[in-house]
Amino acid sequence: MKIVFSEKCLEYNWAGHIERPERVRKALEFLRSQQYEFLEPEPASREDLLSVHSREYVDLIKNAEAGSHLDGDTPAPENIYEYALLSAGAALLAAHENVFSFMRPPGHHAGRNGRALGVSTLGFCYFNNIAIAVKKLGLPALILDIDGHHGNGTQEIFQGAPKVTFISLHRHPTYPGTGLVSQGNCLNFPLSYSAGDSVYLKTLEKAFSQVEMANIEIVAISAGFDAHKGDLASLGLTSEGYREIGKRVGALEKPVFGVLEGGYIGEYVGRDVHELISGIEEKQ
C-alpha cells in the first residue's frame, strides 16, 4: 500500500501543543526505512469541503486570524486553512487510490458546523478528512474509526446516511465523551483504558458481525494510533495489535483506504502504521 504525504504538513506548529510536527516526522523516518512509495497530494476544493461542512464553518477556518484560537485546544496557526485543505486533499487521493494518507491536521472531531454532538472543542481538527473522502466516493462504505477518541464529527455528519455505516472503538471516559451507545448506522463500542489487544480484537469482531458486509463496497479507516499503550487515549494496544486489526480488515475482502487521525508518540506511530498496512495486505 502506498502512502500519501507532503512535507508541507510539517511546516505548521504551535508551541507546546501535542499535535505537532514531531509526531509525524519521527514516524516518517521509520516508514521511509520500509521502502514505501509516496504520493504527493493536491489541496481539496472548496466544493469538496462544502459536501460535508457548512459554508459558514468553512469561512470561519478560511478567515481565522493567524495566531488566534478557535477554541481552548484548537489553535489557528498561520495558513491553517491551506494546510487543512491539503490534508483533506490527501484523504481524497487515498480514497481514489486505496492507499494511506499520512497527513496532519486530523479531522474526525469536526462536524458539519465544526463542534459536533454538543462537544465544546474541535479536538485539533479543522475539516473532516475522511468524511470528505467518503462523500466524494459516493459508495456504500464502512468507516472504521480506531482512534482512541470517539469520532463525534464523523458520526454527526453520517448519522442516518443510508450508504454509510460508522464503527468506532474508543476509550471511555475521555474526550469527547460521546459515543456511549450505538445509534442506527453508527455503532459505538466504548472501552476501558486497560482493554488491551485481546479485548479490543474481540470487540472489533463483534462490531463487524453487526454489519451486512455484502452491502459494503469500500472500507475507510480513521486511523488514529493514540490507543497505543501509553499514548493520549491509551487502550493498551501494541504494534502487534495493530497488525491484527489490519488482518481483520483485510479479511473483509473489500478495497481499503486509511486516513491518519491521532497518535502522538512518533516512534510508535510509524511502526503502528506499518503493522496496520502489513496486516491488511497479508489478508487481502
How does pLDDT run across 15-25, given as a tens digit for each residue? 999 999 999 99
Contact 20, 262 (CB under 8 A): no
Is residue 284's pLDDT more than 90? no
Catalytic residue among 53, 108, 109, 274: 109
149 is catalytic: no
pLDDT in tens, 41-83: 999 999 999 999 999 999 999 999 999 999 999 999 999 999 9
Q: Is 62 exposed, middle or buried (0-12, 13-18, 19+ CB in 10 A)?
A: middle
- 3-state class (DSSP) for residue 162: coil
Domain ranges of the chain: 3-283
For the domain spanning 3-283, the CATH number is 3.40.800.20
pLDDT in tens, 95-137: 999 999 999 999 999 999 999 999 999 999 999 999 999 999 9
Contact 227, 235 (CB under 8 A): yes
Contact 108, 224 (CB under 8 A): yes
**Secondary structure element (H or E) that encloses residue 97, with its range:** helix 80-97
Q: Determine the pLDDT at residue 23.
A: 95
